[in-house]
Chain A
Amino acid sequence: MTGAEWQLLWFTAWVSAISTILILPFGLATAWLLARHDWPGKSLVETLVSLPLVMPPVATGLILLKVLGERGAVGGFFYRHFNVDIAFTWRGVLIALAVMSFPLLVRSTRVAFEQVNPRLEQIARTLGASNSRVFWTITLPLASHGVIGGMLLAFARALGEFGATIMVAGYITGKTATLSTEIYHSFNNGEDAHAYRLLGLSVALAFLAVWSSEWFMRRRTSAR
């Protein structure tokens, strides 16, 4: 492993971890609303949340590019008011990873919330607990294994993301290149040894993340 490869690994892991943390509050809120409440438009939100799972990642990336580019609604706003670029920067990578891993976090967390016995939450209310206290002291602790499993799954998804990332952030060495975009670039340029080292690393990381996620999910099941 060369210094550049370690740096690439560090950048990919860092940006994947930050994207997972970034989507956590939104993921928890969405999953809880989907698991515990019925409201108008719920099926629409369920569909929208799952879209990045089934759409071609490059299509999602193209939508993001249109929104986050200098002429896009969000990208244009940040560029004009804060002189901040999003597309083709690490911020673009971060957002692409966040969008692509969000559905996995929501799906796993939703299942975890659904498996918490609603009777426990109801009885907590009869004991004087507010909705937020019920969530923080009953629902979330009992769903914690599933939530952590979902976070690891989202992290694993972010580690391997390619299509949306290449569209929004491109491939800029030392700036936006991630493990997956670097593998693609190296292989295209005939740098096979470099590509295979990164491939091995990707497999190891993905295996570790998915295995840990499964372990947490199993603990959730056996805890009931």
Chain B
Amino acid sequence: MNLLLKKISLPLTDFPLVIDVEIQNQVTAVFGPSGAGKTSLLDLIAGLRQPKSALVQLGDRVLTDTAAGTNVPTRHRQIGYVPQDLALFPHLSVRENLLYGRKGIRTLDTLFSYEHITQVLEIGPLVNRRTTNLSGGEKQRVALARALLASPHLLLLDEPLASLDTVLKSKIIPYLARIRGEFHIPMLYVTHDWSEVQALCSEALIMERGQIVRRELIAG
């Protein structure tokens, strides 16, 4: 992956988000304390927030270029997003949630097939249940599967394990590792837990008050 985030400027409540970075690793952590602007950065990449200025380019595809007036709508960006609260649709079944992003996708790629993804994340037995009846770990896997089923070119994970206890975390991390190993989708992984960074990521961008203050390569 080559994700270019240049001349990013987005006013936040207490400070502006100012980013200028090029990311090339498969799984990159965005690490920092709460309120550092990590979620705002993901929102901006997904096209959910409009920056004052920005150049966002994924591979050779320009998603946002304020100077040129380019702004690809969120729905055309092909960026999977698993927010912190997971945002599973409560009125739909697990299956309906999973298939929500499949509309209009005609892919013969078995890697991203419904069968393969539900098998990798072991959610086959859950598909007929309501999302409101799932445990925390099950919800997490359904949200990951839903994002993957839309065949994204980039996966944004916003503190996916923050709401889970240590036992559940240790159960979900292998699934995330499987996603990394099987699907080869570049991921931006927001967290403030360094053990997650070490378990899953190859590089960490350390954020404080809206800026990347340091980059660290993680020894694999």
Contacts and interface: CB of A to CB of B under 8 A. Distances in A.
B101 A142 contact: no
Interface residues of A, number: 18
A137 B96 CA distance: 11
A127 B155 CA distance: 12
A138 B101 contact: no
B214 interface: no
A130 B91 contact: no
Interface in B73-100: 73-81, 83, 85, 87, 89-91, 100
A164 B80 CA distance: 53
Question: Main SS of chain A's interface residues?
Answer: helix
Contacts of B103: 128-129, 133
A196 to B, nearest CB: 46
Nearest to A131: B75
B91 A142 contact: yes
Contacts of A125: 47-48, 73-75
Interface residues of B, number: 27
A126 B89 contact: no
B75 A128 contact: yes
Interface stretch (A31-39, A74-82, A116-124): A116-124
Nearest to B76: A128
Nearest to A144: B91
B79 A127 contact: no
Contacts of B147: 126-127
A126 B85 contact: no
Interface of B: 43, 46-48, 73-81, 83, 85, 87, 89-91, 100-101, 103-105, 146-147, 150
Interface of A: 117, 119-120, 122-130, 133, 137-138, 141-142, 223
